[in-house]
Amino acid sequence: MSEATSPSVLIVGASRGLGHAMAAEFAARGWRVLGTVRGEGTPLHALAVARPGQVEIENLEMTDHGQMLALRERLAGRGFEVAFVNAGVANDNPGATLADVSAEDFVRVMTVNVLGAMRAVEAFGGLVRPGGVIGVMSSGQGSIANNANGTNDVYRVSKAALNQAMASYAGRHADGPAMVLLAPGWIRTDMGGAGAPFGVEEAMPQIVDTLIAQRGRPGLRYLDRFGTPVPW
Ligand SMILES: NC(=O)c1ccc[n+]([C@@H]2O[C@H](COP(=O)([O-])OP(=O)(O)OC[C@H]3O[C@@H](n4cnc5c(N)ncnc54)[C@H](OP(=O)(O)O)[C@@H]3O)[C@@H](O)[C@H]2O)c1
């Protein structure tokens, strides 16, 4: 595959963790990658050095709408087979209920996981080429149907709200490309922690396989990393 004809992916939040692993996996498959970061010296920067000409980096703070619109302007005229919004945060004390969490921490999580993520979908979704895929990193914890034990309240609320907002976006873009809310499973990253059962090396090829398999299949799906539907 020549560089000119190879497909391309935009990953919002690709500095480290799952976003960086996704960038590395797409790059290893010959895709051109544009990843966003905050700051310098991230693992994505190392990937860009290792794969010159294949990995491009832009800066984006998800909570800065002006930055996001400016990046959208810079990308005008570009097209991507896949645009994936990965960036997300958890609240400081995962055990906190909505009675316990500080309003500040609640707003921080919702601002990144819902407002920032959906503004990124709104800003960059239109750059996806016909037949392509808009992906958003949700979580199995966004499932209301599967919430039997009531842990991680704040994070769950944020991902359920993200799912709902994405359903609205899909409703407004019924003629749009494939759209995926991805539940990756519990993966060892800074957020997932050392006790998570799966490593990124194992999980990411499955995630990328599932994303690529959605090409040419319009409509919104909430899927785990194997492509199995997650109950809403
Ligand atoms: N790991 C899991 O088990 C798991 C399970 C289900 C869902 N997820 C979801 O998967 C996604 C990635 O998680 P992860 O485990 O890779 O977490 P991580 O290692 O903590 O990485 C989080 C990523 O989000 C970026 N980010 C956070 N806040 C941002 C902001 N305000 N503006 C721009 N970028 C921001 C970070 O950038 P910086 O490096 O600049 O901070 C980093 O690239 C998240 O949406 C998370 O909710 C993870």
For residue 222, pLDDT beyond 60? yes
Mean pLDDT of 160-186: 98
Contact 124, 72 (CB under 8 A): yes
pLDDT tens-digit readout, 77-120: 999 999 999 999 999 999 999 999 999 999 999 999 999 999 99
Report the distance separating Cα 80 and Cα 181, nearest Å: 18
Q: What is the pLDDT of residue 4?
A: 61
pLDDT tens-digit readout, 31-45: 999 999 999 999 999
Q: Which single residue is written with the structure tokens 């990953």?
A: 11
For residue 12, list its beta bridge partners. Answer: 85
For residue 76, pLDDT beyond 60? yes
Q: Whose CA is nearest to atom 5 of ligand 1?
A: 186
Q: Is 232 domain-assigned?
A: no
Lining residues, ligand 1, CB within 6 Å: 13, 15-19, 37-38, 60-63, 86-89, 112, 137, 139, 184, 186-187, 189-192, 196
Mean pLDDT of 126-143: 98
Report the distance separating Cα 193 and Cα 81, nearest Å: 31
Q: Is 2 domain-assigned?
A: no
**Kind of pairing between the strands at 128-137 and 178-183:** parallel
Contact 140, 146 (CB under 8 A): yes
Q: Is 165 domain-assigned?
A: yes
Q: What is the pLDDT of residue 5?
A: 82
Q: Is 3 domain-assigned?
A: no
Report the distance separating Cα 76 and Cα 79, nearest Å: 8
For residue 100, list its beta bridge partners. Answer: none
Torsion of CA 14, 16, 22, 23, to 10 degrees: 60
Q: Is 231 domain-assigned?
A: no
Residue 63 is part of which domain span?
A: 8-224
For residue 11, list its beta bridge partners. Answer: 35, 84
pLDDT band of 1, cuts 50, 70, 90: very low
Q: Is 229 domain-assigned?
A: no
The pTM for the full model equals 0.98
Closest C-alpha to 158, from 144, 170, 145, 173 = 144
Mean pLDDT of 214-221: 98
Contact 93, 155 (CB under 8 A): no
Number of domains in the chain: 1
Q: Is 170 domain-assigned?
A: yes
Closest C-alpha to 191, from 37, 19, 35 = 19
Can you tell me which atom of ligand 1 is nearest the CA of 42? 39
CATH code of residue 148: 3.40.50.720
Of 149 and 26, which is predicted with more confidence?
26
Q: Give the distance (Å) from ligand 1 centre to CA of residue 50.
A: 23
Q: Which single residue is written with the structure tokens 């500095």?
A: 15
How far, CA to CA in Å, does 110 sit from each of 13, 75, 161, 198, 199? 16, 26, 9, 26, 26
Q: Is 230 domain-assigned?
A: no
Mean pLDDT of 15-25: 98
Contact 107, 43 (CB under 8 A): no
Q: Give the distance (Å) from ligand 1 centre to CA of residue 137.
A: 9
Average pLDDT, rounded, for the chain: 97
For residue 3, pLDDT beyond 80? no
